[in-house]
Structures are given as structure tokens and as C-alpha cells.
Amino acid sequence: MTAIPGPRALAPRLDQLAAAVRARSALVPRIGIVLGSGLGRLGERIEDPVAIPYAELPGWPAPTAQGHAGRLILGRLDGIPVACLQGRFHCYEGHDVLTVVEPALLLGRLGAPEILLTNAAGGVDPTFTAGTLMLITDHLNLTGRSPLLGPNDDAVGPRFLDLTAAWDRDLAERLRVAARSEGIPLAEGTYAGLLGPTYETPAEVRMLRTLGAHAVGMSTVLEAIAARWAGMRVCGISLVTNPGAGISPTPLSHAEVIAAADAAGPRLEAVVRAFLRELPAP
Ligand code: HPA
């Protein structure tokens, strides 16, 4: 059996990645933002952008998921310095778990004390329709993976990480206030992260509801764990692109997911921008 590299392997990788970014931009982000499937357009709004395709960063593959541009963009959004990941790596693409979490950790290494994770998700709560925005208040990690397996790097984070407040309550409240100020409804709930790449069976969606999930997707939870481990404060919003399998009688398709994300994207963008404008100094 091969040894698991573990989070200790991340520190030199992050140094190498940060150096590559610093060769192109000195910007220190106030917050890191991860844009999920179909949500990348917020990245186009960044002023004075320095955009770095993932394939130009050492060791990063080009993303394969459709709807993911695959760029790190540094610049300002409404005057706030941000580092934005337009697209992410997923385990279902065949990437190991450390590759999946490196981008989120890199944002922290560049100086972002906070991270906002967004994703496209299926609705498990039967009241959620396509286009529902859901504040993530907690998660279920059902991927069967953890980025923290293997030798720990105590200089970065603890061996046994407390996840009681994985999803930061103060940032969550700020997102609620931002949505309210824009007149945009914001549901809340627990995001279940699964490995994918299949969508769920109707029985799995019923199981997830029994487990207390409100939305389901194939990302986010591993990044949230890694970012918390590295001491970042984490918040997030799911854009529900479809009722989960079996709730809607029609089959699910990636095209439907992308179309719904495109349609609701401007509302998510408005919430995020209102949130950024009111962020206090770190
Ligand atoms: N299941 C899992 N991931 C998803 C879904 C879904 O129904 N919709 C968008 N991402």
C-alpha cells in the first residue's frame, strides 16, 4: 500500500504556487472567492484583472468540467481586493484530494483570511426550485475522502480539527444582510457533498433528506475542511439548479444545470457584491 502524502505535503506546494502567482501580481486579497459551475461570470467583473490559467500554475491540470473556465483572477471587485477561482478541480475528474483543495489553500497563502465558496447544487429540500439561492450553514462530507488524511503539518493546522463552526456565523449573517439589502431571497441549509460524477438516485435524495441535507453537489466540502484547517473563515452559497432526482420527474442533465446557473447567476452576483461592499477591514 502506498503512503498517503497528507496535508504536510501541501506547504511546499503552496509556497511554489504562491511564488508563481507573485511573479505576476502583488495583490493581497481581502477575500478569496471560488466560483462554481456556470457561476464564473462574476470573474468578468473584476477590475484591473490579472488572470492566470490554471495550466500556467505549477502542477495544476486544466479543468475538464464544462462550465468551468479554469483561471485564477486577482483584482478588485467594487474596490475590494479579491482573488477569484473561476472553476475548480473535483475528485470525480480523477484528481487526488490534495489537488482539489490546493486552490482554496492558495487563496489563503496569498493573504485572504476568508473564503466564499459557491457551487451549483441539486435541491434536496422539496421546497427548493431551480434558481433558489441557499446560504450554506453546515455540510455533510459524504465523499468518503478527507484532505487531512496522512501526516499533519502542525505549523498550518491541527491534527484533530474542530468543525463545530466550520461555516462562519458572522460571515453567514453578513450574507443574509447583503441578500436582504438587495431584496433577494436567500434560503439556508446543509450542503451534502458527494463524490459524483453521477447525479443521485431518487433513493439517495430521500436518504439525504433523512440525513438533514437541503442541497447536494459534488464539490465544496473538502475545500471547506482544508480552508478551516488552515485557519481561514469559510462561508458559501449554493445555487440550486434543479430539484434533486426523484423530486422532479424529469431526468437531470448538465445542460439544465448550466442553464439554470446562468439564469440565476446575476442574483448570486448581486448578493456577493453587496456582501463585499460591506466587508469590514480584516
Ligand atoms: N446533484 C448533484 N450535483 C448537482 C446537482 C444534483 O442534482 N445539480 C447540480 N449539481
Biggest CA-to-CA distance, the chain: 54
Measured from the CA of 257, which atom of ligand 1 is nearest? 9
Average pLDDT score over residue span 183-210: 97
pLDDT at 14: 93
The enclosing domain of 56 has a CATH number of 3.40.50.1580
Q: Whose CA is nearest to atom 9 of ligand 1?
A: 121
The answer to whether residue 209 is domain-embedded is yes
Task: Point out the residues that are catalytic.
Answer: 37, 68, 90, 92-93, 120, 218-219, 242, 254
Grid cell 484583472 is found at: 49
Task: Please state the φ and ψ torsions of residue 105, each to the nearest 5 degrees.
Answer: -70, -35
Q: Is 122 in the pocket of ligand 1 (CB under 6 A)?
A: yes
Q: Separation of 212 CA from ligand 1 center, angstroms?
A: 17
Answer whether 191's CB lies under 8 Å from 123's CB.
no
Q: Is 244 in the pocket of ligand 1 (CB under 6 A)?
A: yes
Cell numbers of 257, please? 444545470
Q: How far apart are CA 249 and CA 271, in angstroms?
A: 31
Which range marks the domain in which residue 196 is found? Answer: 17-277
The answer to whether residue 198 is domain-embedded is yes
Considering only 9-23, 54-68, 132-146, which range has the smallest mean pLDDT?
Answer: 54-68
- Indicate the pLDDT class of residue 183, thresholds 50, 70 and 90: very high
- Indicate the pLDDT class of residue 217, thresholds 50, 70 and 90: very high
Average pLDDT score over residue span 41-54: 93
The answer to whether residue 5 is domain-embedded is no
Give the relative orientation of helices 97-109 and 221-229 as an angle to the nearest 10 degrees. 50
- In this model, does residue 108 exceed pLDDT 70? yes
The answer to whether residue 7 is domain-embedded is no
Considering only 21-25, 41-45, 112-116, 230-234, which range has the smallest mean pLDDT?
Answer: 41-45
pLDDT at 262: 87
Nearest C-alpha neighbor of 148 from the set 77, 202, 98, 90: 98
Q: Separation of 141 CA from ligand 1 center, angstroms?
A: 15
Amino acid at 164: T
Answer whether 193's CB lies under 8 Å from 142's CB.
yes
pTM of structure: 0.95
- In this model, does residue 161 exceed pLDDT 90? yes
Q: Whose CA is nearest to atom 10 of ligand 1?
A: 121
Q: Is 199 in the pocket of ligand 1 (CB under 6 A)?
A: yes
What percent of the chain stands above pLDDT 90?
79
Q: Is 200 in the pocket of ligand 1 (CB under 6 A)?
A: yes
Q: Separation of 2 CA from ligand 1 center, angstroms?
A: 32
Q: How far apart are CA 179 and CA 272, in angstroms?
A: 8
Angle among Cα 12, 13, 19 to the nearest 5 degrees reads: 90
Count the domains in the chain.
Answer: 1
Q: Is 241 in the pocket of ligand 1 (CB under 6 A)?
A: yes
Q: Is 142 in the pocket of ligand 1 (CB under 6 A)?
A: no
pLDDT at 222: 98
Q: How far apart are CA 39 and CA 265, in angstroms?
A: 6
Nearest C-alpha neighbor of 192 from the set 140, 254, 244: 140
Answer whether 66's CB lies under 8 Å from 117's CB.
no
Cell numbers of 96, please? 487526488
Q: Separation of 216 CA from ligand 1 center, angstroms?
A: 6
The answer to whether residue 8 is domain-embedded is no
Q: Within 13 Å of residue 148, how many CA atoms lie on the same side as its CB?
A: 22
The answer to whether residue 1 is domain-embedded is no
Q: Is 257 or 91 the better-scoring residue by pLDDT?
A: 91
The answer to whether residue 282 is domain-embedded is no
Q: Is 217 in the pocket of ligand 1 (CB under 6 A)?
A: yes
Q: Separation of 230 CA from ligand 1 center, angstroms?
A: 28
Average pLDDT score, the chain: 93
* Residue 248 CB burial class (10 angstroms; 0-12, 13-18, ≥19): middle
Average pLDDT score over residue span 54-82: 86
Q: Is 215 in the pocket of ligand 1 (CB under 6 A)?
A: no
* Residue 144 CB burial class (10 angstroms; 0-12, 13-18, ≥19): exposed
| Antiparallel, parallel or unpaired: β 31-35 and 47-53 | unpaired
Average pLDDT score over residue span 77-98: 93
Q: Separation of 245 CA from ligand 1 center, angstroms?
A: 9
The answer to whether residue 147 is domain-embedded is yes
Mutate which of 199, 254, 262 for ligand 1 pocket (most atoms within 8 A of beta carbon): 199
pLDDT at 235: 98
- In this model, does residue 277 exceed pLDDT 60? yes
